[in-house]
């Protein structure tokens, strides 16, 4: 509403200064002297400087062109006089005479018409082409008085105004700002008490919502008449302007008189109407900032609550999924464990009935052993999966021969392949077979791939293991592919192939035993070795699994000498610390059967006493259970190592336990043990370790 009041105020002033609006602009040509005509002919184009921030009087529009009331009048002057103008913006701040002459300006617009400019050196001013008023802009509610000690904002581009204010209102404290916009902001935030500016310019700026708290105060005695100034070379004196400048001013004065006050008023209205401030989104946000702020906070709160609700639902869904996964796990494990246990119980019953039939008894024992091995592999898979999931599995890196690893795996699978009439071939190109790796885990992955290929390839099919290497500086990338001509897998199943307990429905129905953990574990092991495990398969055509891993290069191991082999043949006496009577008897019988002398102690305290009471050097190896009454394995080991006798430091102590976690192994080694043997004990692994000599530091 206020903008329209100021608009009609502007129109009223235009009418007061120029009377009524004309129906059409005057078209009468002006009368020019011969000298003036000659000037126009000799100066086809004049460079005109204009102020850029005086909307709607003089400004740069969105097309970077000169616009405003001054432009309308200059265009009309060009029509009347025949002068041609090119426009160039004036820089912000105080524009000096030297700048105007060095930049080639002929004419400047929006110059204040006053006695001071009439007497200024280097310029000649025209008669006024636009008349208006200056007004005061201040905060609403301010009680203005002319004698007050007010701080007044003045733009650096209004130096003439600054001089007028300093002369007219000596009590005012003038503060310079870079632009008119900065002046309005200074008053708006209370940094300055007021500003004084052309009323047309003020009307435009106060139409902005951000300045709705500012008011206009009429000021008496400060008319705002604008004219043109010609830039002339005054030759170093105060009274000798160039004659050409005077001719130009004469032409302009005649054109301004021809335009007349009525036509000037029409241009004022056109300038005000066409350059009204357009309401913008930022104005809306500024005006309703508190409401917008409340809306945004409310919206964010709603979003937060929705996210919280979704999170709760996701947690609930995840809990349900976890519950289903646990149920699936228990169901799968129950089936996988109960099935071989049922077989063991059945075989045990059959053996009690066939004690006098050595052939049947041998068959049942073989089946029982295979079933027990399957149970052990199932438990190992579960433990491995748990360790990998918890990221607690660590590789045991040692120098290995990759060619020997592949040969070992192939020899293990060879019999089963032959029994099923499968054509198994190995193609190995290993230029760097010696590397630092975990042979047990590499074999685990390869055996899993070969086992699966054997299970799902029908008799007469082909299985190929292909190994190759690429050397990269001090590392080697090994790639092993296992390809079969089996039944293959559907594309849908391949997407979940490496998930735990993943088995395709038709393979389960065909009686292929397995937990669905092997491939999941194998892929995680591959990635633990800085590699990967991938698969390409087509239903009915077969599958290709690609296993890659990266390892550091290692030197070829030194061949064992005949003397070292002979030393290993000398079997050490073994002290077994085992609190489980049955396990102790089994270990004792196994070792005695292999030619070892064995002493059995049923707990750690008795094992310590047996070692103390023995002659130094009697025992070469101690098999130490970790969980025992009286004294556990850790405490017993520390006590033995602390004894003041020569063999206390040299006797080899092996931890024998069902605990397979890394922390148990670390704790055993920290207590002074030499190695770690997991239960159930692999007799071949145990015998190999017992026959080795301890490496002295």
Which domains can be identified in the chain, with CATH numbers?
A: 2-278 (3.40.190.290), 292-387 (1.10.287.130), 395-552 (3.30.565.10), 562-691 (3.40.50.2300)
The distance in angstroms from the start CA to the end CA of the chain is 98
Q: Is the pLDDT of residue 493 over 50?
A: yes
- Single pTM value for the model: 0.43
Q: Is the pLDDT of residue 1 over 60?
A: no
pLDDT tens for each residue of 662-676? 677 788 889 999 988
Which residue is listed with tokens 């292909």?
Answer: 466
Q: How confident is the model at residue 284 (pLDDT cuts 50, 70, 90)?
A: low
Neighbouring C-beta atoms of residue 320, cutoff 10 Å = 10
SS3 26: coil
Query: What does DSSP say about strands 173-177 and 151-155: parallel, antiparallel, or unpaired?
Result: parallel
Give 185-230 as a DSSP string: HHHHTTSSSEEEEEHHHHHHHHTSGGGTTEEEEEEEEEEEEEEEEE
The confidence score (pLDDT) of residue 638 equals 93
CB hemisphere CA count around 117 (13 angstroms): 26
The confidence score (pLDDT) of residue 280 equals 67
Which residue is listed with tokens 């002659």?
Answer: 615
pLDDT tens for each residue of 200-249? 999 888 888 888 889 999 887 788 889 999 988 765 444 444 678 889 99
More confident residue, 313 or 459: 459
pLDDT tens for each residue of 418-433? 889 999 999 999 999 9
Query: For residue 227, what are its two tokens?
Result: 């004219």
What average pLDDT does the segment 472-482 reach? 91
Residues 280 and 696: their CA atoms lie apart, in Å, by 86
Residue 139 forms beta bridges with which residues?
Answer: 214
Mean pLDDT (the chain, rounded): 81
| Calculated CA dihedral for residues 214, 215, 218, 219, nearest 10 degrees | -40
Rg (CA), the chain: 51
Residue 585, CA distances (Å) to 246, 578, 581 in order: 130, 9, 6
């Amino acid at each position: 509403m206020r903008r329209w009041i100021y608009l009609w105020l502007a129109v009223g002033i235009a009418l007061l200064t120029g009377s009524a609006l004309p129906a059409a602009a005057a078209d009468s040509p002006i009368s020019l002297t011969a000298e003036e005509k000659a000037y126009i002919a000799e100066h086809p184009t004049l460079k005109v400087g204009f102020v850029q921030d005086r909307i709607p009087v003089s400004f740069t529009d969105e097309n970077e062109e000169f616009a405003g009331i001054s432009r309308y009048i200059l265009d009309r002057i060009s029509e009347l006089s025949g002068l041609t103008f090119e426009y160039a913006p004036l820089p912000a701040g105080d524009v000096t005479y030297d700048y105007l002459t060095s930049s080639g300006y002929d004419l400047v617009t929006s110059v204040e018409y006053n006695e001071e400019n009439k007497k200024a050196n280097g310029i000649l001013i025209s008669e006024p082409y636009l008349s208006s008023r200056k007004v005061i802009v201040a905060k609403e509610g301010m009680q203005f008085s002319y004698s007050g000690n007010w701080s007044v904002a003045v733009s650096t581009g209004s130096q003439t105004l600054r001089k007028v204010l300093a002369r007219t209102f000596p009590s005012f404290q003038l503060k310079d700002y870079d632009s008119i916009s900065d002046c309005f902001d200074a008053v708006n935030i209370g940094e300055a008490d007021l500003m004084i500016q052309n009323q047309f310019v003020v009307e435009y700026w106060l139409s902005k919502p951000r300045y709705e708290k500012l008011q206009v105060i009429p000021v008496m005695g400060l008319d705002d008449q604008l004219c043109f100034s010609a830039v002339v070379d005054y030759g170093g004196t105060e009274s000798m302007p160039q004659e050409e400048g005077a001719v130009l001013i004469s032409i302009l004065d005649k054109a301004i008189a021809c335009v007349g006050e009525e036509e000037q008023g029409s241009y004022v209205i056109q300038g005000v109407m066409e350059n009204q401030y357009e309401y913008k989104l930022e104005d809306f946000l500024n005006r309703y900032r508190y409401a917008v702020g409340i809306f945004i906070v409310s919206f964010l709160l709603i979003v937060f609550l929705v996210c919280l609700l979704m999170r709760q639902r996701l947690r609930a869904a995840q809990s349900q999924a976890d519950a289903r996964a646990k149920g699936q796990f228990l169901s799968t494990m129950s089936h996988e464990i109960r099935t071989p246990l049922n077989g063991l119980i059945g075989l045990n019953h059959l053996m009690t009935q066939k004690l006098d039939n050595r052939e049947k008894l041998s068959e049942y024992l073989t089946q029982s052993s295979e079933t027990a091995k399957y149970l052990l592999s199932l438990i190992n898979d579960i433990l491995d999966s748990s360790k990998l999931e918890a990221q607690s599995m660590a590789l045991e890196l040692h120098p290995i021969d990759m060619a020997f690893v592949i040969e070992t795996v192939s020899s293990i699978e060879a019999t089963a392949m032959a029994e099923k009439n499968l054509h198994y071939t190995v193609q190995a190109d290993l230029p760097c077979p010696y590397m630092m790796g975990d042979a047990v885990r590499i074999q685990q992955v390869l055996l899993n791939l070969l086992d699966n290929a054997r299970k799902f390839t029908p008799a007469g099919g082909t299985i190929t293991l292909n190994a190759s290497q690429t050397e990269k500086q001090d590392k080697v990338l090994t790639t092993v592919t296992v390809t079969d001509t089996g039944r293959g897998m559907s594309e849908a199943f391949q997407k979940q192939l490496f998930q735990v307990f993943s088995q395709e429905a038709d393979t389960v129905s065909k009686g292929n035993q397995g937990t669905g953990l092997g491939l999941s574990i194998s892929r995680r092991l591959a990635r633990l070795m800085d590699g990967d495990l991938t698969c390409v398969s087509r239903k009915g055509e077969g599958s290709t699994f690609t296993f890659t891993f990266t390892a550091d290069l290692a030197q070829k191991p030194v061949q064992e000498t005949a003397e070292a082999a002979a030393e290993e043949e000398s079997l050490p006496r073994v002290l077994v610390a085992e609190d489980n009577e049955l396990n102790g008897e089994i270990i004792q019988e196994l070792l005695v059967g292999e030619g070892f002398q064995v002493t059995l102690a049923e707990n750690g305290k008795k094992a310590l006493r047996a070692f103390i009471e023995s002659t130094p050097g009697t025992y070469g190896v101690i098999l130490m259970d970790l969980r025992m009454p009286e004294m556990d394995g850790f405490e017993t080991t520390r006590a033995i190592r602390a004894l003041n006798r020569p063999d206390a430091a040299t006797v080899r102590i092996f931890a024998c336990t069902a605990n397979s976690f890394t922390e148990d192994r670390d704790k055993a080694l920290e207590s002074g043990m030499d190695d770690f043997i997991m239960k159930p004990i692999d007799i071949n692994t145990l015998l190999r370790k017992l026959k080795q000599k301890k490496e002295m530091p």
